[in-house]
Each structure stands twice: as structure tokens, then as C-alpha cells.
């Protein structure tokens, strides 16, 4: 079992920045460095959608078109933590943001929420206009 805890959400004006963190506790069978990590978000009344992911085996990074150039995903294996730096925020970025862990290799499959094995509880991001 892997536990994930997101933090860093909040209220920000359009054009502002936030950095989300996701701290994980991996099992002894598989260390954090061997999980691909992803960020998803869900706005009220909408499906949970892919935001960004980073593969564990190759460091490949994937972004949704809607955030490319504004958001940056990174990981710090020594701290068992993945980050999402969000710049130039827009009101349409308002959502609950979830981090997730997957044993899948770095590939476009990481865009699919069904490929993830563990999920955090989410952190609210609200962008005012």
C-alpha cells in the first residue's frame, strides 16, 4: 500500500503561481523511485482529467495541452515527493488536484487515470479572475 498526501493548494489570482507537493510513503517491496507519478484534476461537474506525469524508468514527462508551457512536474526521489509548479494560472485551472502513483513505465499510458494504482485525497486550487 502506498499513501499519498497532497499539499500546497489554495486561492490565487489569475496570473499567479502555486506549487503543489505530493509526499508518498512507499512499501518495502517497491521504492518511490520505481513509481511513475501523475497529477490529475477534477472541476465541479466534470470528469477527472490528466494534467502531467513523469515516468519512473526514463524520466519521460507528459503534459496535457491545456497546461503545457505553464505547469512543470518534477520529482525528488530522496524525499519521496513529486511536485507540480503551476504558473500563469487561469480561472479554468480551478479544480481539486490529485496525485497518483503507477507501476507503469514512462509512456503515454500515464495519461490514463485507470493506469494508476494509488491516489491521494486531493488539494483544492482556486483561481480568481
- pLDDT beyond 80 at 29: no
Q: Which residues contact 43 (CB under 8 A, 6 or more apart)?
A: 94, 95, 96
What's the rounded Cα separation, in Å, for the pair 109 and 67? Answer: 18
pLDDT in tens, 37-70: 999 999 999 999 999 999 988 889 999 999 999 9
Grid coordinates of 74: 518534477
Grid coordinates of 78: 530522496
pLDDT in tens, 8-22: 999 999 999 999 999
Backbone conformation region of residue 121, classed left if phi is above 0, alpha if psi is from -120 to 50, else beta: alpha
Say if CB 95 and CB 42 are below 8 A apart: yes
Amino acid at each position: 500500500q502506498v499513501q499519498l498526501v497532497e499539499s500546497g493548494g489554495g486561492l490565487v489570482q489569475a496570473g499567479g503561481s502555486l506549487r503543489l507537493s505530493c509526499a508518498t510513503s512507499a512499501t518495502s517491496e517497491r521504492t518511490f523511485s520505481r513509481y511513475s507519478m501523475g497529477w490529475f484534476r477534477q472541476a465541479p461537474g466534470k470528469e477527472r482529467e490528466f494534467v502531467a506525469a513523469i515516468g519512473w524508468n526514463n524520466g519521460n514527462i507528459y503534459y496535457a495541452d491545456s497546461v503545457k508551457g505553464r505547469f512543470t512536474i518534477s520529482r525528488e526521489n530522496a524525499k519521496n515527493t513529486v511536485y507540480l509548479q503551476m504558473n500563469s494560472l487561469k480561472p479554468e485551472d480551478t479544480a481539486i488536484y490529485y496525485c497518483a502513483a503507477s507501476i507503469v513505465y514512462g509512456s503515454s499510458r500515464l495519461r490514463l487515470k485507470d493506469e494508476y494504482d494509488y491516489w491521494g485525497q486531493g488539494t483544492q486550487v482556486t483561481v480568481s479572475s
